[in-house]
Structure 1
């Protein structure tokens, strides 16, 4: 299926260097650049965007030089606009803040081929500066992996890591789950998500003054069955149901929020069979107010007793689901891979579950989510209906790919087993009566079964699984 994924790149200039074809041309204070060194092509058509540091002063063009490795134009790829003599010339109107061209992939690489095209910004018609980030390499993905066995390194029973898995390549990307606090959505909406993996909570206040002193509200603290569902993000992953309201273009509508930053993992390993993912010290409290700044977010933040605040501007980058911010370290941090380059995430998780007549937040270790915002979906199959070995593409039921990131969740394991006295005891138990079907952002479909989650001595936090592509 042909899909378009727009590669919109965050504009980060570390150094600007003038590099115009005509040394005597008047220089503009507008700089142009790519922000990333490379991109793996997962779609037939990929619009690639070049950003401007400020609106273009006049209409004009950007010239790109083309360098090929093991590919030929019209055989392996084309571009829109078309290339001529190993150059692509892209036009833009006055006041443009970006310009794009489309890369059309015709042939994938095979398992043994290395195929790529490098585009280099070589000139602008208006004397614009070309930054040090002047090239991008587009890599031809080989055919999707047929499947393998993987062991995500979540870090044992304390589970300090979130691990993102791309089934088509078998690549795993790890992020320290305490390394971030807020995620800023790159889609059309202006939404902010909490770090669910550390039990964060957000409470809207009546004030719009970030410099007002606030106090701790211990009712926000999430334990097993305490806290308020409205103070955590929708556990199914609906981006329109975040604890922090949509950021309004009217500043006066954007309230201050009190944030409970959740808990660190425990300082020492727990008793064998138990988890220590959230048994550590509190990560503290903050207050924030989020505004819009054009197409960006402007974040005001401070300690709750402070009468002054700091600000940071967060730019959207639609190559990713979110841009992540650490309030503790006061900087943007890398967490997720690009949105079409991961499928499932091994993490800890705050779910919202029934407790009698009410719904309450509840913390889960050993949890697996699917990349709902990147359009990766999953569903469960019981072996009473199909065996893993016999399940084929013809058996896939597309109606079961629902918009819920919890369709794997904790369903792959249990944490209770009969003890020596016959009473239940805490112990990791792998559920072998089920497997899962996963559709990735490129439309590939896989079957996946878990093969373990604990060591022989019952130490938790050691998941293993195998998967195979369905064709």
Structure 2
């Protein structure tokens, strides 16, 4: 082989590599959503705004707003390595151990015995409802209201009050807007059930029956663990219930829920904001020192340093609002929030209005969120 042939071959190899480099594909992820001002659709029909039937989930980086009917589910089943059950805190559900392991031994008379204690605002009711507070470890450790049995025979049967859909037995009507007529107070009750939950092959086994009769028969159901959700949801009344979007599709939830008082009572709490703490979302509260300085508008990535982020479920909670004497929410304009999502994007969030007491509509709060800094976007090599 002469020198000219060798030179031609070398040039061909170099050009081949150069061509491959030129044709490489840039696999950059899409830029996260810049943000928006948006109304959260809590009211589903004619219900009062403070009893909005929907919980509303927001995904900042995708620009998604997802309303979910609070009454869709009764139990949430943890898909992680442990076995944990939650009651529907957005309905005010409570549960108490019946003292029995056989359905034939749990009778209507047993629910009558506990009817006073198995209610919101009852003394000791906080111990009969699941918490909505704490870090992931703290929260999961406190999910003991319903214990998951090792097998069917030894599993405890619980009497479950599935809640009042946000309405206590009687309510004082508050108009959603100045022009909305008063809606008469109407009791709204949901059925009680007897239920046991125990470990299955790939998840959970559930047996349940209504408390409305003494028939020893029951319905049996299997729920397999699905790690794409924080909890896998179950309903006594409907198939394939939706309790919340997949873990990767929400950052915050605005909802009606329960909370606990210092004297051990579980109480109704509206306009509560939860963060997706099991999904890796954290939040920092920023107090505004000078309203005229437009601190929210001027907040940028240079101000991210030094903030303290919480990974507690109630990191926002009800700190964003106050209540009027007639229970209408009013935005606290002395603060806003910085949210760090699971991908590492930073957003600033403020509440704009929440009822006719602050220029808005109850059950349809308005929020604004804006991208402060995007996570590092991988490129090609």
Tell me if 1:375 matches 2:245.
no
1:230 CA displacement: 1.7
Q: Deviations over 1:34-80 (max 9, x none)?
A: xxxxxxxxxxxxxxxxxxxxxxxxxxxxxxxxxxxxxxx9735xxxx
Structure 2 vs 1, CA of residues 397 and 364 (structure 1 numbering), >3 Å: closer, same or farther?
A: farther
2:31 to 136, 143, 147: 143
Q: Secondary structure at the match of 1:286?
A: strand
1:251 CA displacement: 4.5
1:270 to 149, 169, 173: 173
Structure 2 vs 1, CA of residues 411 and 209 (structure 1 numbering), >3 Å: closer, same or farther?
A: same
Structure 2 vs 1, CA of residues 246 and 400 (structure 1 numbering), >3 Å: closer, same or farther?
A: farther
Which shifted more, 401-410 or 287-296?
401-410
Cα distance in 2 for partners of 1:425, 1:229 equals 24
Equivalent in the alignment of 1:346: 254
Q: Deviations over 1:125-149 (max 9, x none)?
A: xxxxxxxxxxxxxxxxx21112111
Structure richer in helix, relative to its length: 2
Equivalent in the alignment of 1:463: 365
Equivalent in the alignment of 1:441: 342
1:229 to 102, 105, 126: 126
1:226 CA displacement: 4.5
Structure 2 vs 1, CA of residues 359 and 323 (structure 1 numbering), >3 Å: closer, same or farther?
A: same
Tell me if 1:412 matches 2:326.
no
1:172 CA displacement: 1.0
Structure 2 vs 1, CA of residues 426 and 336 (structure 1 numbering), >3 Å: closer, same or farther?
A: closer
Equivalent in the alignment of 2:234: 325
Give the alignment's TM-score, normalised by structure 2. Answer: 0.77
Structure richer in strand, relative to its length: 1
Q: Deviations over 1:162-206 (max 9, x none)?
A: 111100011111111112111111111111111101110011233
Which of structure 1's runs of 4+ aligned residues deviate more than 6 A?
273-276
Structure 2 vs 1, CA of residues 188 and 433 (structure 1 numbering), >3 Å: closer, same or farther?
A: same
Q: How much is the aligned-residue C-alpha RMSD, in angstroms?
A: 2.8
1:436 CA displacement: 0.8
Q: Deviations over 1:199-234 (max 9, x none)?
A: 100112332213322322123433346452221112
Q: Secondary structure at the match of 1:202?
A: strand
Cα distance in 2 for partners of 1:166, 1:269 equals 34
1:383 CA displacement: 0.4
Structure 2 vs 1, CA of residues 154 and 227 (structure 1 numbering), >3 Å: closer, same or farther?
A: farther
1:254 CA displacement: 2.5
Equivalent in the alignment of 2:102: 209
Structure 2 vs 1, CA of residues 437 and 452 (structure 1 numbering), >3 Å: closer, same or farther?
A: same
Q: Secondary structure at the match of 2:315?
A: coil
Q: Secondary structure at the match of 2:265?
A: strand
Q: Which runs of 5 or more residues in structure 2 are unaligned?
A: 1-22, 44-48, 374-381
Equivalent in the alignment of 1:288: 195
Q: Aligned residues, how many?
A: 325
1:252 CA displacement: 4.9
Alignment of 1:70-109 (within 5 A): 75-76=25-26, 106-108=27-29
Tell me if 1:311 matches 2:220.
yes
1:268 CA displacement: 9.6
